[in-house]
Structure 1
């Protein structure tokens, strides 16, 4: 086996937040599901990663019940579910070991958020020598507040602030940052050959 699909942070934690209604790609879960189905059909390794922030009291705190793969998707019994608490799926997990043992040299990354955990994982994977495909339409993000915006800003205030970086601009920036340097950017249709 030389290929693996890494599904990053496609978890209920995001859908439980008010910010979810601003997501730039409402079809992200369906697109991730198509990648998972195609990887399974091809006999490729599928690895699930979720993010937790114990003790924070938020939607990423495991005690609140949202730190789980979205209810629409289910890891198969032989598919590992790794838990991380940093922005990439390698640090603090045994992901690299699992990929090495399986003989994986090529990874496709997808999930939430485009510019954060998915992009960071793509960059680290590239630095580790993997051939990386970034499934751009199987990722999603939200508008990003200006660095001077109050931490307790509401969604309405975020959207009304002219300094807010639009989600579309975030995704575009990720494409520019990764393409030709850290990853090949492809759509789900291109990856699965539709």
Structure 2
């Protein structure tokens, strides 16, 4: 399986924001510490091939959130900082499609293939990926360019970030998206 550059595939970078550097705030442990680096590699590749890039920024409506627009945490991490011509989409819910013009922009540009990376695997990445699949886009989710944090279960049990990540990916694979790696994308974009 390859990803054709002639199909103008879009790279969707979800919520790669400075707030997620505060690991304690989000759960105390994080998996896949190379996620941003891998996303940065793909961003470089997309820029080299002049392919469409969409940066998604979570702008919490809660003024106390680290992701509120007035907080430093709302800013994109430097490794994937947008350039002047790249599209930035602001959202305030888990899906990059709800309350935004993302779908309209993709459709107007005749984009039918999406490559999704970002934070966090089980929240905004998962929700956006599910909607992308339901909208009929050919969707690739890059497993090593996404990450998440520990979660507390209903009984107070702690579930590891890696377990949360892996189960989120398993729920999405071959249902809403094809789960791949950064190396797969780099080797199969033609």
Tell me whether the two structures share a fold, i.e. TM-score over 0.5.
yes
**Which contiguous aligned blocks of 4+ residues in structure 1 show a shift greater than 6 angstroms?**
none
Q: Give ranges in structure 1 of 5+ residues lacking alignment.
A: 150-162
Partner Cα distance (1:12, 1:91) in 2: 23
TM-score (normalised: structure 1): 0.87
Question: 1:52-85: CA deviations, max 9, x gaps?
Answer: 1134312112222221111232212111111101
Using a 3 Å threshold, how does the CA distance of structure 1 residues 55 and 143 change in structure 2: closer, same or farther?
closer
Q: 2:45 aligns with which of 29, 35, 38?
A: 38
Say yes or no: does 1:177 pair with 2:142.
no
Q: State the shift of 1:17 in Å.
A: 4.9
Partner Cα distance (1:64, 1:133) in 2: 31
Partner Cα distance (2:177, 2:49) in 1: 21
Over the residues paired in the alignment, what is the CA RMSD in angstroms?
1.6
Question: Equivalent residues in 2 for 1:158-173 (5 A)?
Answer: 163-173=157-167
Instruction: Give the match for residue 124 of structure 1.
Output: 131
Q: Secondary structure at the match of 2:43?
A: helix
Instruction: Give the match for residue 3 of structure 2.
Output: none
Q: State the shift of 1:3 in Å.
A: 0.7
Q: Give ranges in structure 2 of 5+ residues lacking alignment.
A: 1-6
Task: Indicate if the aligned counterparts of 1:17 and 1:59 stay in contact, CA closer than 8 A.
Answer: no
Q: State the shift of 1:46 in Å.
A: 0.5
Partner Cα distance (2:60, 2:169) in 1: 28
Q: State the shift of 1:18 in Å.
A: 2.3
Of 65-74 and 92-101, the range deviating more from structure 2: 65-74
Number of aligned positions between the proteins: 181
Q: Secondary structure at the match of 2:152?
A: coil
Say yes or no: does 1:5 pair with 2:3.
no
Instruction: Give the match for residue 71 of structure 2.
Output: 64
Task: Indicate if the aligned counterparts of 2:121 and 2:169 stay in contact, CA closer than 8 A.
Answer: no
Instruction: Give the match for residue 142 of structure 1.
Output: 149
Q: Which has the higher contact order (CA 8 A, sep 6+)?
A: 2
